[in-house]
Amino acid sequence: MAKPRLQYQCRECGAVFPKWSGQCSECGEWNSLDEAVASKPANSPAAARHGGYAGANVAAITSASDVTLREEPRTTTHLSELDRVLGGGLVYGSVTLLGGDPGIGKSTLLLQCLANLSAANRTLYVTGEESLQQVILRARRLGLPEKDLRLLTETGVEKILALAESEKPQVMVIDSIQTIYTDTLQSAPGSVSQVRESTARLVRYAKQTGTALFVVGHVTKEGALAGPRVLEHMVDTVLYFEGDPSSRFRVIRAVKNRFGAVNELGVFAMGERGLQVVNNPSAIFLSRHPEPVSGSVIMVTREGTRPILVEAQALVDESHLGNPRRVTLGLEQNRLSMLLAVLHRHAGIGMFDQDVYLNIVGGVRISETAADLPVLMAALSSFRDRPVDQHLIAFGEVGLAGEVRPVSNGEERLQEAAKHGFTRAIVPKANMPRKPVKGLQVNGVDRLAEAIDLLD
């Protein structure tokens, strides 16, 4: 078999060169050339008409009415929170990329998933980081069934695919993509070119055979997936596994999903038997104080299709610096600065000489604007040192003109608050429920000043 011809492509401008050099002569970028396998030249006129791609005349156009669907389009993983972030279950032929910090529980989650699926599906767990003995020791420690669990220790993608062709698994796990390499490239495993080429071959295999494929990816110190950015575009679903190392709770978040909603959230608790599903995540994000404390307000945020109650804590203290600090955990810092400016301009309450610290309890990251009103209420409570009613919840977007704007799915948020025993709510007037919510007194406001008056 002839050795494949190699070339080098610039990741910035796409220019192709026969040899590697430190600088791209087309765009001038340094160290941007990555190793790649050159496409085979087209010999036939038909291939030339398709842009020179040798395999272009192999594919056939199919009518949409001729495509047959499976009777069961989704398969449960028997982990309800994982099913939720996947969009309702596992889709055969899909490729899911799971990223997270070291030791967060990626391998544990996927081993549990395969063990649950192995009774009714052919599964294959491919590990490039651990020995078979290490995998079995973990499975026994977690009390997982081992009888139908198929394992493979291999890092060469050609060997993995050859064995998978004979094994024909319905669900396969690659742990991790940074350890996988292809013989057609000379670069080391984990390099940009190796990750891209190996992933492309695995994705092609999954689509052609209808195998549900999970790929584990490492993350950088900034929290992004290591490797080329194109990696996230090649797969169907991208999941991030997050959590505070000092906490037993883990959060899995979907940031891309071709088969379901993005920003869906699943919550797990790490225990002696592995990751356990948390069916009521609002309970773990609420820290019920034995007595009222200032600077604490409960808000109702929405992650994907699920409303979740989360506590926002603020600490406002006199600043001894020329430029007072604005520190946030779980919320964008610039948004806090903007909200404090709105509070000064439209409510006459200035914190320009105060340090303001904001924390979203439980390590949750809030990206929606429904957190605006409770964040300002928490900051004001700490500034005045006046506790907010423990049975009060709030949500709403605050505009630059001081108006309180409505948010989506207001009634569902109120129903979630009532279910957890809250009795008062301050919400945008446009989010007032059509029918009274049992046990919940709802106050609708149009302006920020009205919401502040209700706190007094």
Helix (H) or strand (E) holding 316: strand 306-318
Written as one letter, the residue type at 402 is: G
Q: Give the orientation angle of helix 448-455 with respect to helix 333-347, to 10 degrees.
A: 80
CATH number assigned to the domain comprising residue 110: 3.40.50.300
DSSP 181: B
- Predicted pLDDT at 57: 46
* Alpha helices (H) in 358-403, listed in sequence order: 372-384
CA distance 454 to 18: 71
- Predicted pLDDT at 401: 95
Residues 111 and 243 in one domain: yes
Given 41, 65, 89, the domain boundary residue is 65
**Residues 274 and 253 sit within 8 Å (Cβ to Cβ):** no
**To the nearest 10°, the Cα dihedral for 313, 316, 320, 324?**
70
Residues 60 and 104 in one domain: no
Tokens of 228: 């080329």
**Residues 455 and 388 sit within 8 Å (Cβ to Cβ):** yes
Examine the pLDDT at 167 and tell me if it is beyond 50.
yes
Please name which of 79, 62, 66 lies closest in space to residue 273, comparing C-alpha atoms: 79
| pTM, rounded to two decimals | 0.74
Cα angle for residues 133, 134, 138 (degrees, 5° grid)? 115
Rg of the Cα atoms in the chain:
27
Examine the pLDDT at 280 and tell me if it is beyond 90.
no
CA distance 287 to 333: 23
Examine the pLDDT at 365 and tell me if it is beyond 60.
yes
* Share of residues in the chain with pLDDT > 70 (%): 93
Please name which of 396, 386, 382, 399 lies closest in space to residue 443, comparing C-alpha atoms: 396
Please name which of 94, 100, 253, 97 lies closest in space to residue 180, comparing C-alpha atoms: 97
Q: What is the mean pLDDT of residues 357-361?
A: 93
Residues 175 and 240 in one domain: yes
Residues 250 and 387 in one domain: no
- Beta pairing partners, 171: 123, 212
Residues 260 and 319 in one domain: no
Residues 368, 374, 377, 379, CA torsion sign = negative
Cα angle for residues 421, 427, 431 (degrees, 5° grid)? 105
Given 279, 307, 322, the domain boundary residue is 279
Q: pLDDT digit string (tens) for 186-211?
A: 888 988 889 999 999 999 999 999 99
Residues 124 and 174 in one domain: yes
DSSP 295: T
Asked if the bond preceding 176 is cis, omega within 30° of 0, the reply is yes
Please name which of 300, 281, 297, 261 lies closest in space to residue 410, comparing C-alpha atoms: 300
Q: Whole-number mean pLDDT of the chain?
A: 88
pLDDT-wise least confident of 130-134, 299-303, 345-349, 430-434? 299-303
Q: pLDDT digit string (tens) for 24-64?
A: 988 888 988 888 877 655 454 444 443 443 444 456 888 88
* Share of residues in the chain with pLDDT > 90 (%): 61
- Predicted pLDDT at 70: 66
Residues 383 and 266 in one domain: no
* Contact residues for 203 (Cβ-Cβ < 8 A; gap 6+): 95, 213, 234, 235
Q: How many CA atoms lie within 13 A of 236 on its CB side?
A: 22
CA distance 231 to 149: 28
- Predicted pLDDT at 52: 41
- Predicted pLDDT at 46: 43
Q: pLDDT digit string (tens) for 89-126?
A: 999 999 999 998 888 999 999 999 999 999 899 999 99
CA distance 217 to 240: 10
Given 242, 263, 279, the domain boundary residue is 279
Examine the pLDDT at 71 and tell me if it is beyond 70.
no
CA distance 398 to 359: 19
- The domain total for the chain is 3
CATH number assigned to the domain comprising residue 442: 3.30.230.10
Examine the pLDDT at 74 and tell me if it is beyond 90.
no
CA distance 172 to 95: 10
Residues 270 and 122 in one domain: yes
**Residues 358 and 331 sit within 8 Å (Cβ to Cβ):** yes
Tokens 């820290």 map to which residue? Answer: 287
Tokens of 275: 């990751």
CA distance 129 to 443: 56
Examine the pLDDT at 322 and tell me if it is beyond 50.
yes
Residues 230 and 336 in one domain: no
Helix (H) or strand (E) holding 337: helix 333-347
- Predicted pLDDT at 45: 47
* Alpha helices (H) in 118-215, listed in sequence order: 132-141, 157-167, 192-209
Query: 98: domain range?
Result: 74-279
Residues 51 and 124 in one domain: no
Residues 434 and 328 in one domain: yes
**Residues 312 and 297 sit within 8 Å (Cβ to Cβ):** yes
- Predicted pLDDT at 230: 82
Residues 117 and 213 in one domain: yes
